[in-house]
Chains A and B, each alone.
Chain A
Amino acid sequence: EAQVTQNPRYLITVTGKKLTVTCSQNMNHEYMSWYRQDPGLGLRQIYYSMNVEVTDKGDVPEGYKVSRKEKRNFPLILESPSPNQTSLYFCASSLGGPPFYEQYFGPGTRLTVT
Chain B
Amino acid sequence: DQQVKQNSPSLSVQEGRISILNCDYTNSMFDYFLWYKKYPAEGPTFLISISSIKDKNEDGRFTVFLNKSAKHLSLHIVPSQPGDSAVYFCAASPFLAGTYKYIFGTGTRLKVLA
Contacts and interface: CB of A to CB of B under 8 A. Distances in A.
A42 B49 contact: no
Contacts of A44: 104
Interface stretch (A12-20, A62-70, A99-107): A99-107
A13 to B, nearest CB: 21
Interface residues of B, number: 25
Interface in A12-63: 31, 33, 35, 40-45, 48, 50, 56, 58-59
A42 B46 contact: no
Interface residues of A, number: 28
A61 to B, nearest CB: 10
Contacts of A99: 31-32, 49, 51, 93, 95
Given A42-B89, A43-B89, A107-B43, A48 B49 contact: no
A103 to B, nearest CB: 6
A59 B101 contact: yes
A51 B27 CA distance: 26
Contacts of A106: 43
B95 A98 contact: yes
Nearest to A107: B43
B48 to A, nearest CB: 9
A42 B44 contact: no
Nearest to A54: B100
Contacts of A76: none
A98 B59 CA distance: 19
A40 B45 CA distance: 20
Interface string A89-114: 01010000111101111111000000
11 contacts: A41-B106, A42-B89, A42-B104, A43-B104, A43-B107, A44-B104, A56-B101, A59-B103, A99-B31, A102-B46, A102-B49
Interface of B: 6, 31-32, 34, 41-46, 49, 51, 89, 91, 93, 95, 99-107
Interface of A: 4, 31, 33, 35, 40-45, 48, 50, 56, 58-59, 90, 92, 97-100, 102-108
* 6 tightest A-B CB contacts, nearest first: A105-B43, A102-B46, A42-B106, A97-B100, A98-B93, A43-B104
